Structure 1
């Protein structure tokens, strides 16, 4: 069994050795599939998990997220980082406590965002920096290297101001964040600008939103980590909805051509990526 310290050191090393994909499972089964497919690390998705519980993003509680994270960590043997939303509270101490609970759940990384919640916008740069600093202090006090990611949510919060995004990321860098992340940057030029302004590993969400490119293109310009957010969960739910629509409209079963049989699924989950059912 891989210890949490071993997972943490592996995760830290991934950020030092080039660009890697960190896909986002939404339950234990999808986590085991992604591990079985050979990915080196995973990250939770707040939206994907919430949807799997029949809820919308930002409707789950900290305890729900910690129980979910613990289940994923226990189901796999590779490093897992978590989407910890805004730290589940406005104060710096809320963020610090969330990191301590994240570590206790088995996680070796987690992100704190500067979005205060729907209808509330972003925290001021000063307040957001204090929150990141508290999270970093809690992370650095752990007996293993917990990778704290600080997120600038401008392009998700309705204020797509690149200059402000960069100021925020620089502030979070000054606060000690180990990884920086500004989801939904629009263009490759935006990503270039961010990379030129920071000296920490940068996570991007599937590349520039105005035209997703291959991960190789992200690696070439210096991106260290590429995550998928809720994309895999959305794709799985899309397959379910299309199958249901076909059943309702034509009563046919053409959707089965894209199905995966139980034999192959279990082979993948057990680390044997069988080519057929």
Structure 2
């Protein structure tokens, strides 16, 4: 586990501008194999994409089913897999880390909001520190900052949260849905790799990299594009 986690961590560092680490988001074992065969060095499951594949709305998957689905993805490929586990499902740090390791993943996303809104940033930092204490270097922690996705478009608040989470031991910061023009400020002011999301009709991974992203993920976007293609095939009479 340590060697794989270390290798995954190394992929995030010393990235050339315009060449961020692109991590496609598999939603099941079959899609994971497609991405591995395409040559991607690692994968990152999206909770919304996995939820859709299991027949649930985003955020409604029972934790046991989510960890089982992530484990199937990790077993299907030989490259490192990181898992989006939302806000940790209310699990204590030791139990969360144990479930992640049982699933065979080397990293996770942990977000700082719930359906009720943003969490207290210091409480979130304490949780991240507890996860780091339990896991040591054997888990890559990607701290998601939900200010922009929750309608708090405040750069100072975003930077303050990101810095707290890095101080608590996060390996990477993911300011989901941050405007592209904000990325350079985040890159300059937060001393950790920066994760940006690539969305349909938005900036390309290369452009996000030039703006400061070390890592680019796609959320449930690839799963939704695959389903759109399948709908087109079905509408054409399966021809």
Shared topology, TM-score over 0.5?
yes
Aligned match of 2:54:
53
Give 1:153 shift.
0.8
Aligned match of 2:6:
9
Aligned match of 1:129:
125
* Whole-angstrom distance in 1 between the partners of 2:88 and 2:170: 14
Relative distance call for 1:114 and 1:235 in structure 2 (3 A) is same
Report if aligned partners of 2:183, 2:212 keep a CA contact under 8 Å in 1. Answer: no
SS in structure 2 at match of 1:55: coil
Aligned match of 2:134:
138
SS in structure 2 at match of 1:150: strand
SS in structure 2 at match of 1:88: coil
> Which structure exhibits the higher relative contact order, with contacts defined as CA atoms closer than 8 Å and separated by 6 or more residues?
2
* Whole-angstrom distance in 2 between the partners of 1:160 and 1:96: 33
Q: How does 1:22-37 map to 2 (within 5 A)?
A: 22-37=23-38
Aligned match of 2:100:
102
Structure 1, residues 109-132: CA drift from partner, whole Å, max 9, x if none?
A: 00111012x2x1011112111122
* Whole-angstrom distance in 1 between the partners of 2:81 and 2:113: 22
Aligned match of 2:71:
70
How many pairs are equivalent?
A: 235
CA RMSD for the aligned pairs?
Answer: 1.8
* Whole-angstrom distance in 2 between the partners of 1:65 and 1:54: 12
Q: What TM-score, normalized by structure 2, do the two folds share? A: 0.91
* Whole-angstrom distance in 1 between the partners of 2:153 and 2:230: 33
Q: What TM-score, normalized by structure 1, do the two folds share? A: 0.79
Report if aligned partners of 1:42, 1:79 keep a CA contact under 8 Å in 2. Answer: yes
Moved over 6 A (4+): none
* Whole-angstrom distance in 1 between the partners of 2:94 and 2:188: 29
* Whole-angstrom distance in 2 between the partners of 1:56 and 1:160: 26
Aligned match of 2:206:
216
SS in structure 1 at match of 2:96: helix
* Whole-angstrom distance in 2 between the partners of 1:86 and 1:9: 23
SS in structure 2 at match of 1:81: strand
Report if aligned partners of 1:95, 1:112 keep a CA contact under 8 Å in 2. Answer: no
* Whole-angstrom distance in 2 between the partners of 1:226 and 1:139: 24
Of structures 1 and 2, the larger Rg is shown by: 1
Give 1:245 shift.
3.6
Give 1:155 shift.
1.7
* Whole-angstrom distance in 2 between the partners of 1:148 and 1:198: 15
Aligned match of 1:232:
222
Q: How does 1:252-267 map to 2 (within 5 A)?
A: 256=239
| Structure 1: stretches of 5+ with no match in the other structure | 248-252, 257-277
* Whole-angstrom distance in 1 between the partners of 2:186 and 2:193: 11
* Whole-angstrom distance in 2 between the partners of 1:242 and 1:155: 33
* Whole-angstrom distance in 1 between the partners of 2:126 and 2:96: 15
Please state which structure has a larger fraction of its residues in strand: 2
| Structure 2: stretches of 5+ with no match in the other structure | none
